Structure 1
Amino acid sequence: IRLAEFRGKDGFWLNGKPFVQLVGANRHQDFAYVGNALPNSQQWRDAKRLRDAGCTIIRVAHYPQDPSFMDACDELGMFVIVATPGWQYWNKDVKFGELVHQNTREMIRRDRNHPSVLMWEPILNETRYPLDFALKALEITKEEFPYPGRPVAAADVHSAGVKEHYDVVYGWPGDDEKADKPEQCIFTREFGENVDDWYAHNNNNRASRSWGERPLLIQALSLAKSYDEMYRTTGQFIGGTQWHPFDHQRGYHPDPYWGGIYDAFRQKKYAYEMFRSQSPASLRHPLTECGPMVFIAHEMSQFSDKDVVIFSNCDSIRLSIYDGTKSWTQPVVHAKGHMPNAPVVFENVWDFWEARGYSYTQKNWQKVNMVAEGIINGKVVCTQKKMPSRRSTKLRLYADTQKVNLVADGSDFIVIVAEVTDDSGNVRRLAKENIVFTVEGEGQIIGDATIGANPRAIEFGSAPLLVRSTRKAGKIKVKAHVQFEGTQAPTAAELEFESVPAELPFCYDEKYCTSQETSSSTPKTGLSKDTTKGKVQLTEEERQRVLDEVERQQTEFGIEK
């Protein structure tokens, strides 16, 4: 039982106490290769990954998501904003608005008993809708969730009827300092985007994991700046959600979205560690990653920066290099009105030529290491050690299960990751091998060479694989080797694990058809044969009109902040 209150200029209160700030992320239920076809286990794992990153609130974008994701948010203790389906489109036909309202009713009825739900978003995202639509949406929300005094509906502050009637408004840091500020609490629905323009979408907070160390660091520091702004408040501004924590193929731009703190396979980026470092070191949670932490955002390579950036939630950091030959200590800044734990920058620490002297001249390469120690109340509470990777000699496999077993239901899957390492187990971030995977036993590989799934190219030291269960529980053995083997190639690796029986009986029979049968069958699309062969082509004028409309919508809703 909990009491959640939005007290306007006094901010958000939980169980009679000010909550400080609600900071989290938006979430699409999209995964590499399989799109939206996530099994319940991956819905749960995604919620856990967000909780691990320190997210306290999730805005589901822009549609109600699988009930298993909502269940996971209940279990893990996260708040959720549930949004009505729709984005940047309005149809003046009366029936269109009626259907949107019907969606809202069904959405609230489905999810209103989830304790994780904190707010409803009963309007269309980034869309110019009329006043009567906004007022009807609010009326429906209160009808379906009829609890007096409980704030329930949120929408953009400058949309029709919102500032005058809604319970919480979407805005930006600093909006609570303006002369014409709203009376309600203010929340940022999407923070962290810094695109140059809405045609190119070049952006310093978007970095493919494959681009390597420097882009990942720039992304993390860019998101840190945006994260920091979530704490600029008079009390009325209560936080925001990052757009977006998982890389995905978005559809509204030809490039994938690379702004995630995880990639599409849920491999962590440096930005994850920045988010994670904002959780209090004192936090204890039975299911998620928490407690004191320190992370060195540096690979000690020949291309690495001289400065070393460290993310931590401790009081101070001691950084040592070359087995303690050099050492520095700096505080982790906890400034009021800023993010809880600012990144710590140690300047002019790394010099490749100095490190080369130990390795090449003194034959003492083991001494080339870097150790970061997190200190709280004068005591070392966490440590990380890094060394530059030497030649690639081994492959290493691990399963990203998030402590949830693979279920033998024929649809569940987990991510297996192959890493290229040196003899000491240091990941070779600059490796360029292709990895060939095979699976034995009760598992199947999702994807093949036609989509680059198998063989899979190494990116930033690793190659992910999706392994799906069969309908029979049992052992699964995954093997990995480099595509072009030789006497000096990294040695192969194996990983064995077991799937567990499905709890529920199957309600269908499987029937497999050959590839010839599949290709010869004609899909019932309702289109003529000639139409299905071709692609829809826009004229240059039509294409430009669509792009201009997207740019207008994005700009009007302030996403450039």
Structure 2
Amino acid sequence: MPITFKKLLSFFILVLVFTSAKAQDKNLSQSRKAISINQNWYFSKDPNAKGSASLKYALVNIPHTWNAFDVLDDEPGYYRGVGYYKKKLSLQHTWKGKKIYLDFGAANQETEVYLNGRKIGNHIGGYTGFTVALDQLRFDGKDELIVKVDNSYNESIPPLTGDFTFFGGLYRNVSLVIVDQVHFVDQLYGTNGVYIHAENVTNDKATVEIEGKLVNNTNSKQLQINSILIDVEGNKVGETKWLSASSEGKNISFKLPNISVTAPKLWSPESPYLYQVITRLIDYKTAKVLDEVKTNIGFRYFSFDADKGFFLNGKSVKLIGASRHQDFAKMGNAVPSALQVKDVELLKEMGGNFLRVAHYPQDQAVLDACDRLGILTSVEIPIVNEITENEAFYNNSKAMQLEMIKQNYNHASVIIWAYMNEVLLKMRYGKEPERKKVYLKSIENLAQQLEDLTRKTDPTRYTMMSNHGDVTGYTNAGLVKIPMIVGWNLYQGWYGGKSEDFGPNLDKIHAAMPDKPLIITEYGADVDPRIHAENPIRFDKSLAYGMEYHQIYIKDILKRQFIAGAAAWNLSDFSSETRSETMPSINNKGLLTLDRQPKNTYFLYKAYFNKQPYVKIGDGSWKLRSATNTRQDLSVITNLDSVILIVNGVKQDKKPVIDHVANWKIEFKSGKNELEALGLKDGKMIKDKSLIDFVLQPQSLFNSTHSFNILLGSQRQFIDDKNQIWLPSQVFTKGSWGTVGGEPFKIKNSSRQQYGADKDIKGTLNDPIYQTQIVGLDAFEMVVPKGKYEVTLHFAELMGNGIQSVLPYNLDSLIAEGKEVPPQRIFDVYLNDRLIIKGLNIAAKYGIAKSVESKFECVVTDEKGIRLSFKSLAGKPVLNALQVKRIK
């Protein structure tokens, strides 16, 4: 094929672009370096205010938090105070004459920075980045940094309270940034000083606006800024230049002429196309490149409509996704960037196109991944639950809002700036009506200031507040009218009401404010993957209830056009130290676990929203099962129309798929069961396999080492940390097993749980074993063959004030007998007529909500089996759980 002039020209252009890129990399290496200094810091807490010089330090690496583990222990509270970090700097002598900054991704929440004993900077707020200039360095290897971080409660710094843990520490990356004395920077907001935005975008054209700030610490009189727009292939699309008239001042603002683009490739979730802008700062006289910054940019246009929802690039799009907290199992919030990016990838794989970055700005790696993968985002500052009515709180809130906008301005994925979440949840002055009016007016005033500030700083994006379900309260407080979008955190079927109330409630909200675009910013139900229920009910924390809940919500969201979007609460489980539930200190509403293992609810969203053909056997984490009969429910989650299930080589009936789930009743065999689900899409077979281990109870204990584990007063199953399965109790019938007399424990006057309690049980990782009980039982009987058995009894006192939390998220924790001393409960326990426990007073001997385990052996020599008898001496006897194990 002959080489045409056009092809030859294209070749030379590519060579020039490549050469330019190589030269650019060389210039960048000379003009701007970013060097991680995460390794080899020394850290110490300072609970007694001794000061940095008097402490004993331990070697740590950054990211680091001092709360990774104390938030998970049985002791209420976690360390909120001062921690010191120190490090010797090894600086290259070639950096002399350069400007060096210390760049913090974030530190929670008040930070002071010292260099060689001299304070050189500080920062307020735990979730935005900041930079500190390093001046008067010695370059002798003995330059020492000391960073003081304090996560103590401060009434002038949001968040004041919240359903999440306020981890302390240097929990994001720390870097040295080395630049020329003339460089781009906006140190006030902790950015590189270059702000780029795509404006006037249509399918046919777009405009690139470039502005920013630079610092000139030299005598250079004239500087030139040159910005080049290139596409993903490296082709030059446009260019603009700016020449300073005079550079005698140190701080200079600039705005370049716009770049016009014809037929831009638009950015979207389906095609997240990113251009790049290379912005160079040049000494006009010598043509030397003094600094260079690369910025990704996506061309997109969008709008919200109160009746028709969200539009991207002229097309109707339903925003579907999740909110996200940043912490990870056993790491707290000190999470490497790679794991944070993995979260965004998991959201994309689920079929999501929307991430609510809640309740605070997060690692830049998160939004970088959203840009790259096509995830639209909202970002918010941490004003949660309540405010403080003082000038410092107002100023800190506004500073956070500005830092959030400036630091995330260049991300194509960001479409919403938000600033308050459920701000009326912890209502102050409830018993002082006139004072309450003043407080509400103060909230309205702050909201309006933040709204005005946001629209002035960035008029290209929308604004939003997220409110809890008190629609009347937020309307009367004047908060609904302020933001451009109203977000609603709705939990019908969880904190109150029924799941079926969700859709009608949405219709009422829309009718009450027909001119306001609406996003469901939170909805969810706790799902503890260790808990399963055949007949799920609200607050049982079971996988089955979570599935039913999300099916209802998804259907109601999809069939209402006026709902612009919805973010499930939450992408993953997260730390909330004040919670005391089946998994204390963890909020279990995530679609993923705290260590990012998917639950069935995640698979459900993938079936609904991932376009690829998909089949998933719905066992989730439930690959170890037990029951008293072999015929069990099993589901397959899929986006196909019908599915075939094969169990241990036997094909089951083909089932239609309803709401993305197909269900069977199948026969398990004792031991390993091989399952395969098959579906057909466009002539291609889609399949999934699973291996489920089934233990038939109580037969298994008669001929193996399995124990028979029973949760008294429970309607759910539980898998403990030893992979033992605990079954719900039943009433005794002849020839079987179960309780005689008594009734399940239930919290008085609670509209939440139908049985059991959510107390944090001390001394165990298996709280559900102790969170239910039978009260006033006469006996527990079990027919077993002759032989020797080990019987383990589990007790915990659930009455009384053994609760650590007073947050509204644990409403029932304020109810169980209030703060009164529980009634005396003293009883004897007999095992086959032998007294084994005399005068047990659980509360007096062990305290409230403390796990108690007692083991006994017995020999069965007749046909009566095992009988536990309970004799009351005062009050009603209780039993929380028991285990029976055969001993050879």
Shared fold, TM over 0.5: yes
Could you say if the C-alpha distance between residues 305 and 161 of structure 1 is closer, same or farther in structure 2, counting changes exceeding 3 Å? farther
Give the one of 345, 348, 357 matched to 1:51. 348
1:125-274 matched pairs, under 5 angstroms: 125-127=422-424, 130-147=443-460, 150-156=461-467, 158=474, 160-171=477-488, 173-174=503-504, 177-178=507-508, 179-193=511-525, 205-207=526-528, 209-211=529-531, 215-233=542-560, 235-254=561-580, 255=584, 256-274=586-604
Structure 2 CA distance, aligned partners of 1:13 and 1:113?
Answer: 21
Could you say if the C-alpha distance between residues 162 and 549 of structure 1 is closer, same or farther in structure 2, counting changes exceeding 3 Å? same
Q: Percent identity?
A: 24
Give the structure-1-normalised TM-score. 0.58
Aligned-pair CA distance for 1:125:
4.1
Give the one of 640, 645, 654 matched to 1:314. 640
| 2:402–2:454 contact (8 Å) kept in structure 1 | yes
Aligned-pair CA distance for 1:9:
0.4
Residue 401 of structure 2 aligns to a residue in which SS?
A: helix
Tell me the equivalent position of 1:22.
319
Tell me the equivalent position of 2:879.
none
Aligned-pair CA distance for 1:342:
2.8
Give the one of 722, 727, 740 matched to 1:432. 722
Aligned-pair CA distance for 1:344:
2.1
Structure 1 position 331 matched with structure 2 position 661: no
Tell me the equivalent position of 2:224.
none
Residue 307 of structure 2 aligns to a residue in which SS?
A: helix
| 2:600–2:618 contact (8 Å) kept in structure 1 | no
List per-residue Cα deviations over 1:289-317 (Å, max 9, x = no partner).
xx533333364844387222111112221
Structure 1 position 296 matched with structure 2 position 645: no
Give the structure-2-normalised TM-score. 0.38
Could you say if the C-alpha distance between residues 383 and 370 of structure 1 is closer, same or farther in structure 2, counting changes exceeding 3 Å? same
List per-residue Cα deviations over 1:368-426 (Å, max 9, x = no partner).
5332112224x3531123343389xxxxxxxxxxxxxxxxxxxxxxxxxxxxxxxxxxx
Tell me the equivalent position of 1:35.
332
Residue 411 of structure 2 aligns to a residue in which SS?
A: coil
Structure 2 CA distance, aligned partners of 1:218 and 1:175?
Answer: 20
| Structure 2 letter corresponding to 1:236 | F
Larger deviation: 294-303 or 177-186?
A: 294-303
Residue 463 of structure 2 aligns to a residue in which SS?
A: coil
Say which structure, 1 or 2, has more relative contact order (CA 8 Å, 6+ apart): 1
| 2:387–2:423 contact (8 Å) kept in structure 1 | no
Tell me the equivalent position of 1:374.
679
| Structure 2 letter corresponding to 1:350 | I
Give the one of 86, 89, 97 matched to 2:394. 97
List per-residue Cα deviations over 1:122-161 (Å, max 9, x = no partner).
23543465322221111111111123xx533344362543
| 1:62–1:125 contact (8 Å) kept in structure 2 | no
Could you say if the C-alpha distance between residues 351 and 85 of structure 1 is closer, same or farther in structure 2, counting changes exceeding 3 Å? same
Unaligned runs of 5+ in 1: 194-204, 283-290, 334-340, 360-364, 392-428, 435-456, 459-539, 553-561
Tell me the equivalent position of 2:307.
9
Structure 2 CA distance, aligned partners of 1:17 and 1:146?
Answer: 22
List per-residue Cα deviations over 1:454-493 (Å, max 9, x = no partner).
xxx99xxxxxxxxxxxxxxxxxxxxxxxxxxxxxxxxxxx
Structure 1 CA distance, aligned partners of 2:478 and 2:666?
Answer: 56
Give the one of 601, 606, 610 matched to 1:276. 606
| 2:349–2:610 contact (8 Å) kept in structure 1 | no
Unaligned runs of 5+ in 2: 1-298, 425-439, 491-502, 535-541, 696-718, 725-764, 767-800, 813-888
| 1:311–1:342 contact (8 Å) kept in structure 2 | yes
List per-residue Cα deviations over 1:501-537 (Å, max 9, x = no partner).
xxxxxxxxxxxxxxxxxxxxxxxxxxxxxxxxxxxxx
Aligned-pair CA distance for 1:191:
0.5
Structure 1 position 351 matched with structure 2 position 670: no
Structure 1 position 62 matched with structure 2 position 359: yes
Structure 1 CA distance, aligned partners of 2:480 and 2:356?
Answer: 20
Larger deviation: 178-187 or 114-123?
A: 178-187
Tell me the equivalent position of 2:416.
119
| 1:373–1:380 contact (8 Å) kept in structure 2 | no
Tell me which protein shows more strand as a share of its residues: 2
| Structure 2 letter corresponding to 1:259 | K
| 2:579–2:810 contact (8 Å) kept in structure 1 | no
Structure 1 CA distance, aligned partners of 2:689 and 2:364?
Answer: 41
Aligned-pair CA distance for 1:104:
0.8
> CA RMSD of the aligned region, Å?
3.4
| 1:153–1:167 contact (8 Å) kept in structure 2 | yes
Tell me the equivalent position of 2:867.
none
Structure 1 position 385 matched with structure 2 position 689: yes
| 1:369–1:387 contact (8 Å) kept in structure 2 | yes
| Structure 1 letter corresponding to 2:690 | K
Could you say if the C-alpha distance between residues 273 and 294 of structure 1 is closer, same or farther in structure 2, counting changes exceeding 3 Å? same
Which one has a bigger Cα radius of gyration?
2
